[in-house]
Chain A
Amino acid sequence: MPHLSCEEGVVPPPGRPLLARAVPAGFPSPAADYYEARLSLDDHLIEHREATFFVRVQGHSMTGFGIHHGDLLVVDRALDPADRSVVIAVVDGEFTVKQLCHLQNGVLLRSGAPGHGDILVTPDRELVVWGVVRWSIHRL
């Protein structure tokens, strides 16, 4: 049921905008029956609201994955990191964005640009995966 009101200045509930104009009684808008909520990037990019955080990329180690300096990463902590997921990991007390690769002798954090070393994490060292990167938002 579309949310209509004749009063000006009524605050629309989130995600359900009012029609822009007041509707005179007796002449309902022909569009009223075809109302759909406008598309929301939040809904599209965020699966788990409470577990999703934004992280800013610093440096060029992941350009091969299409992740560039200054990009905005949408990071979901609710997801299980799979083999070859791009993740935010904690290395030496710092956040790093890398591709997670399961190996027989541990885990490889793979960078995506020449000149940037990969990091091998042997099973005797603890690896903290902070979250799984779902989207990288790049400004053109």
Chain B
Amino acid sequence: MTVALVDGNNFFVSCEQVFNPQLAGRPVVVLSNNDGCVVARSNAAKAIGVRMCTPWFQLREQAWRHGIIALSSNYELYADMSNRMMAVLGEFSPNQEIYSIDECFLGLEGFEHIDLVAYGHAIRNRVGRWVGIPVCVGIGATKTLAKLANHCAKKMHAGSDGVCDFGRMTQDELRRLFSRIEVGEVWGIGPRLSRQLAGLGITHVEALRRADATMLRARFSVTLERVVRELNGIPCIALEEETPNRQQIISSRTFGNYVYALPALREAVASYIAIAAEKLRGQGTRAGMVQVYVRTNPHKENVPQYQRGLTLPLPEPTDDTLLLTQAALRVLECIYLPGYAYQKAGVALLDLSSAAVAQASLFPAAAGNPRLMQAMDRINTKWGRGTLRSAAEGFEQRWKMKRERMSPRYTTCWEQLPHAS
């Protein structure tokens, strides 16, 4: 097996920089939902020591002093740029596994006769020019090695200039390189496992690669054994090209402000159902159960705490937004208690089955309206999410998340296109 891992550098920030050249070279951070904490940093922001996950309120003063530019997450923009990037990358291999919004694996089996480093640079140049996103390419004999090579490409280890191919390096070079990298950089080794491995004297990648895989399996898990084998070039994790249909669909958000009253919670739950039901229909499935949960802010200890979730089985599996909304609102009414400051609500569609092989019921319950759903999906695809929605979702939606520093939706909204003079 030969596989490449390609990922976008500082992806969210890079998307912003494509459309706002003034951000070039400046310290820029992108904040999470409700402008909570730092989820992406430009190189300049990293250089002045801004850490990931720093809460924005802690950063404010530093931001003012250093001229740090903070932006709300512009998910509409990032999703479109991700789709563009993945489509361009898909042209470079017959086998692509999209692993997250900003990274994918490319199968390079049978490409070994060509210069893979040059191929990696061709990938980099193509994505950089066409989409405007800088990417790094790591190439190895397994997915775990490709991930590690990508890390090396990013850190410019071993003279790599955004592309690193372990297949090009001698055993000696690899040994020296792996001795310099901490185990925590390996795919699947979290901080806790790193500490436990350090207890066994395994602190860097070379030591992990030479460790006794069977012993590690006995002491830890089969997952760790796989990591060790993958580091030795034995593929244990296959390329997954088709993401299997999800077995459950969850939609939840933290509110922009605390919510106290039932009507606002009802709007929120109805909106989350609408999003989840659209996904449900998108993958051609129906839900057999609906779960709803609400909770207060667990980090605020001086206020009364409450959290509750409840699952309701449906009389018949459905993909109808209106039927699912009815069910979810009934659940909400069961679990809602007045007098609490709710911070979050969520819904989950469970027990999913294929719509194509649906079993007809002898005593049919309320039938959904598939043509209405089709019309709704098409209108919302064309004119934007929420254009046509159930009245239960409400009109003001005051509970919606805060995105006060959001850049324009440059690629998905006619009114917000970039300007040129």
Residues of A within 8 A of B (CB): 8-9, 11, 48-51, 53-59, 61, 72-73, 77-78, 88, 90, 93-97, 128, 130
The smallest beta-carbon distance between B420 and chain A, in angstroms, is 4
A51 touches B21 (CB 8 A): no
Contact partner of A94 (CB less than 8 A), chosen from B129, B374, B378, B421, is B421
Q: Is B420 in contact with A9, judged by CB distance below 8 angstroms? A: no
Per-residue 0/1 for B377-421: is the Cβ within 8 Å of any A Cβ (1 yes, 0 no)?
010000000000000000000000000000000110010011111
Dominant SS among interface residues on chain B: helix
Q: Do the beta carbons of B420 and A97 come within 8 Å of each other?
A: yes
Q: Which B residue sits closest to A93, measured CB to CB? A: B22
Given contacts A11-B378, A77-B130, A56 and B87 within 8 Å (CB-CB): no
Identity of the chain B residue whose Cβ is nearest the Cβ of A56 in the assembled complex: B417
* Min CB–CB distance B213 → chain A (angstroms): 42
When A50-B88, A95-B21 are in contact, do A56 and B129 touch as well, CB less than 8 Å? no
Shortest Cβ distance from B96 into chain A, in angstroms? 14
Which residues in A have their C-beta under 8 angstroms from that of B88?
Answer: 50-51
Chain A residues whose C-beta falls within 8 Å of the C-beta of B85 in the assembled complex: 50
Q: Name the residue on B nearest A88 (C-beta).
A: B420
B169 at the interface (CB under 8 A from A): no
Sample of 12 A–B contacts (CB below 8 Å): A9-B370, A9-B374, A49-B87, A50-B87, A50-B88, A50-B131, A54-B414, A56-B419, A56-B420, A57-B420, A73-B420, A130-B21
B417 A90 Cβ-Cβ under 8 A: no
Residue among A8, A51, A58 with max Cβ neighbours from chain B (10 Å): A51
Partner of B420, one of A78, A93, A96: A96
Given B87, B129, B370, which contacts A78 in the complex, CB threshold below 8 Å? Answer: B129
B-side interface size class: 20 to 34
A73–B420 CA distance with the chains assembled, in angstroms: 9
Q: Is there contact, CB below 8 Å, between B131 and A95?
A: no
Going nearest first, the 4 A-B pairs with the smallest beta carbon separation are: A51-B130, A93-B22, A95-B420, A50-B84
Residues of B within 8 A of A54 (CB): 411, 414, 417
The CA of A128 and the CA of B17, in the complex, are separated in Å by 13
Q: Please report which residues of chain B, range 176-228, place their CB below 8 angstroms from some CB of chain A when the two chains form the complex.
A: none
Assembly CA distance A139 to B410 (angstroms)? 21
A-B contact count (CB 8 A): 68
Asked if B371 is at the interface (CB within 8 A of a chain A CB), the reply is yes
Q: How far is the CB of B91 from chain A (nearest CB, A)?
A: 9
Contacts of B418 in A (CB 8 A): 53, 55-56, 95
| Docked-complex contact B131 and A94, CB < 8 angstroms | no
With both chains docked as a complex, state the minimum distance between the C-beta of A49 and any C-beta of chain B, in angstroms: 7
Contact in complex: B130, A93 (CB < 8 Å): no
List B contacts of A58 (CB < 8 A).
Answer: 419-421
Please report the C-alpha to C-alpha distance between residue A72 and residue B414 in the assembled complex, in whole angstroms. Answer: 10
Interfacial chain A residues near B410, Cβ < 8 Å: 53
Q: Which residues of A contact B378 (CB under 8 A)?
A: 11
Q: B233 on the interface (CB 8 Å rule)? A: no
Separation of A11 and B371 alpha carbons in the complex (Å): 10
The reply on B235 being an interface residue by CB < 8 A is no
**Which residues of chain B come closer than 8 Å to A9, judged between CB atoms?**
370-371, 374
Cβ of B36 within 8 Å of any chain A Cβ, yes or no, is no
Closest to A51 in B: B130
List, in ascending order, chain A residues with CB within 8 A of B411's CB. 53-54
A93–B22 alpha-carbon span in the complex (Å): 5
Which chain A residues lie closer than 8 Å to B309 at the CB level? Answer: none
Alpha-carbon gap, A97 to B220, bound state (A): 60
In the complex, what distance in Å separates the CA atom of A56 from the CA atom of B370?
39
- Smallest CB separation, A77 vs chain B (Å): 5
Chain A contacts for B52, CB-based, 8 A: none
Task: Tell whether B288 is near chain A: CB-to-CB under 8 Å.
Answer: no
Contacts A53-B411, A55-B417 given; indicate if A48 touches B130 (C-beta within 8 A): yes
A54-B411 Cα distance, complex, nearest whole Å: 7
Residues on B with C-beta less than 8 A from A95 are 21, 418-421
Is B24's beta carbon under 8 Å from chain A? Answer: yes
**Bound state CA distance, A9 and B373, in angstroms?**
11
B132 touches A (CB below 8 Å): yes
Nearest CB of chain A from residue B388's CB, rounded to whole Å = 16
